[in-house]
Chains A and B, each alone.
Chain A
Amino acid sequence: MLELKGLEKTYLKHTVNEHRALRGIDLQIADGEFITVIGSNGAGKSTLFNAVAGTFFCERGRIVLDGRDITYVREHRRARQISRIFQDPMKGSAPGLTIAENIALAYARGENHLFSFALSRRKLELFRDCLAQLNMDLENRMNTRMGLLSGGQRQAVTLLMATIHTPRLLLLDEHTAALDPLTAERVLEMTRSIVAERNITTLMITHNINAALSTGSRTLMMEQGQIILDLEGGTRDAMSVPDLLAVYREKCGKALDNDRMLLDNEQNMDVHGSE
């Protein structure tokens, strides 16, 4: 349903700082696939997401969503079908507005009733039910300003907002990286269950190699603006974290390096032991 053909993006073209962030990305994603994306710092993961979401237009290549060429469709138009969540919990919501108002805004996505009341009784009840499913007791704090919530709570609400209308494509850019491990696991679990329940086609960037292999059905590894590994099915199931790191070292001639990299303690020891 999503097809990327030869995407290329160069930052600061024609300057000394010219940087080829995407160097020909080809990717076919089927309906309902949950794909995790890993790679070192600066590999181009976020750039790829920005290209798909339409933050900028690529200088070469095509993006086709559900058979429609959206290469030059503007960002806010694409947002009707594509939801995204960022690493920074502050980015996904308006801190000065209340929880209910933030959800109302997400709910208005693609809606044409610009002059209907944003917080009608019917909508408030719906939002309350959705919030109750997060199990964070937020349904009783709907008039609290978003800025007063903790990072984990904000990210959970952002997840709710991103999926309140089921999107065709969900892009998660390290959305748990800024949270403490326990909260991160909780938000990740929420993500898994929402995605599975509604069969949402999802791409998730993560620095947690373990989560990358255990979440979803397919894993991509990026390096220097290219996809260097595409794992699924049996090969993926057989792959352990050290295996994956070894593959990376073999392909790139250096250790996978990411400042936010998280490995299980035991496996971490393992990696360092073998070096």
Chain B
Amino acid sequence: MAFFLDSVQLGLEYALMAVGVFITFRILNIPDLTVDGSFTLGIVISSVFAVGGHPFAGLLLALLGGALAGTVTGLLHTRAHIHPILAGILTTYGLYTVNIKILGGPNLSLLNSKKFFDVITAAFPSMSRSAAQAIAIIVVCAAVVVILNLFFKTVAGLCIQATGNNEEMVRASSINTAAVKVGTFALANALVALSGGLLAQYQGFGDVSSGSGMVVIGLASVIIGEVLFGHRSILIGLISAVCGCVIYRIIIALALHYNLFSANALKLLSAVIVAATLSVPPLKGWIAGRLARRGA
């Protein structure tokens, strides 16, 4: 049971990253590979500030740093006309240097520093440490989901949805789609970096390599969520990204617990899950076509 709760908690630390991936991949309809870099950026900013005694400022600046990283990718894509995948790869690659520079080394321990979760636990002394931690992260995730859901009902939010749906029409409505894309990349990566920042303070250390492959985990979470809840509305999409992320962690934890495979096999497994699920719609079409031909 404890192991189950632990993986739920861990899943929630990653959930905002999955929400960020959902926003670019599903709403804007552009896969964004900046995620690996901006997640790590969130980790290092949050770690450095926590060590300096400012855990909250660390989270806030992680958010802003992620937005900046997303802006860079967005500008590379819209202004320099670089393919969005390559733009994301370039930003992530460049961030590797930046991240090591900020952290001052490949990793940093937060063991003896005040963290976001310590502040929460101290504020509610009657609660157990793990309960306070769990409630804190649930509140953060819920708040983000509620705010985002409201945001996507505004004109600006509608512009993002429409840009992912029919860009030409949005431009014809006198909206600068380049700006919409840059803004969306910024928003998504801000969430990703915040997630990295939360994770660092939860785990008690920052490591410059924790972000690698994060985009695949994000995609896997989004896809698991969609399989379970379908894509009916923005709100359901946001919630299912969060739930998908938690379920992903539970699956991984179960597999590791029962020694189904080694920790090293995880990456291959995640990649296979994502590839397999993404190929379901074309496969369905192919099968339907085959059946129709046979029937005819």
CB atoms of B171 and A115 under 8 A apart: no
Whether B264 is near chain A, meaning CB under 8 Å from some CB there, is no
CB atoms of B158 and A104 under 8 A apart: yes
Whether B99 is near chain A, meaning CB under 8 Å from some CB there, is no
Closest to A91 in B: B168
> What is the 8 Å Cβ interface bit string for chain A, positions 88-132, against chain B (1 contact, 0 not)?
001111111100011011101111011111110000000000000
Closest to B150 in A: A117
Q: Which of these, B154, B162, B171, B176, contacts A97 with CB under 8 Å?
A: B162
Q: Tell me, rounded to whole Å, the shortest Cβ–Cβ distance linking B184 to chain A.
A: 13
Whether B246 is near chain A, meaning CB under 8 Å from some CB there, is no
Which residues of chain B are near A92, meaning CB under 8 Å?
Answer: 169, 172
CB atoms of A108 and B173 under 8 A apart: yes
Q: Tell me, rounded to whole Å, the shortest Cβ–Cβ distance linking A63 to chain B.
A: 17
Tell me whether A104 and B166 are in contact in the complex, defined as CB-CB below 8 angstroms, given that A75-B171, A83-B172, A109-B173 are known contacts.
no
Bound Cα distance from A252 to B157, whole angstroms: 52
Q: Which B116-171 residues have C-beta < 8 A from chain A?
A: 153-159, 161-162, 164-166, 168-171
Whether A5 is near chain B, meaning CB under 8 Å from some CB there, is no
CB atoms of A118 and B155 under 8 A apart: yes
Whether B71 is near chain A, meaning CB under 8 Å from some CB there, is no
Q: Which of these, B155, B156, B169, contacts A94 with CB under 8 Å?
A: B169
Whether B177 is near chain A, meaning CB under 8 Å from some CB there, is yes
Whether A76 is near chain B, meaning CB under 8 Å from some CB there, is yes
CB atoms of B172 and A79 under 8 A apart: yes
Whether B175 is near chain A, meaning CB under 8 Å from some CB there, is yes
**Is chain B's interface secondary structure helix, strand, loop, or mixed overall?**
helix
CB atoms of A114 and B155 under 8 A apart: yes
Bound Cα distance from A101 to B160, whole angstroms: 12
Whether A77 is near chain B, meaning CB under 8 Å from some CB there, is yes
Whether A84 is near chain B, meaning CB under 8 Å from some CB there, is yes
Which residues of chain A are near B170, meaning CB under 8 Å?
Answer: 94, 105
Tell me whether A95 and B165 are in contact in the complex, defined as CB-CB below 8 angstroms, given that A113-B155, A117-B154, A118-B154 are known contacts.
yes
Whether A198 is near chain B, meaning CB under 8 Å from some CB there, is no
Whether B279 is near chain A, meaning CB under 8 Å from some CB there, is no
Whether A80 is near chain B, meaning CB under 8 Å from some CB there, is yes
Bound Cα distance from A79 to B175, whole angstroms: 8
Q: Which of these, B153, B165, B177, contacts A118 with CB under 8 Å?
A: B153
Q: Tell me, rounded to whole Å, the shortest Cβ–Cβ distance linking A127 to chain B.
A: 13
Which residues of chain A are near B162, meaning CB under 8 Å?
Answer: 94, 97, 101-102, 105
Tell me whether A118 and B158 are in contact in the complex, defined as CB-CB below 8 angstroms, given that A91-B166, A93-B166 are known contacts.
yes
Which residues of chain A are near B161, meaning CB under 8 Å?
Answer: 94, 96-97, 101
CB atoms of B174 and A101 under 8 A apart: no
Q: Tell me, rounded to whole Å, the shortest Cβ–Cβ distance linking B163 to chain A.
A: 9
Q: List 25 A-B contacts (CB under 8 A).
A: A80-B174, A83-B172, A84-B172, A92-B169, A93-B169, A94-B161, A94-B165, A94-B169, A94-B170, A96-B161, A97-B165, A101-B158, A101-B161, A102-B162, A104-B158, A105-B169, A105-B170, A105-B175, A106-B173, A108-B158, A109-B175, A114-B154, A115-B156, A116-B154, A116-B155
List residues of A whose CB falls within 8 A of some B CB: 53, 75-80, 83-84, 90-97, 101-102, 104-106, 108-111, 113-119, 161
List residues of B whose CB falls within 8 A of some A CB: 153-159, 161-162, 164-166, 168-177
Additional A-B contact list (13), CB under 8 Å, known A92-B169, A93-B169, A110-B174: A80-B174, A90-B166, A95-B165, A96-B161, A96-B164, A97-B165, A101-B161, A104-B155, A105-B175, A109-B175, A114-B159, A117-B153, A119-B153
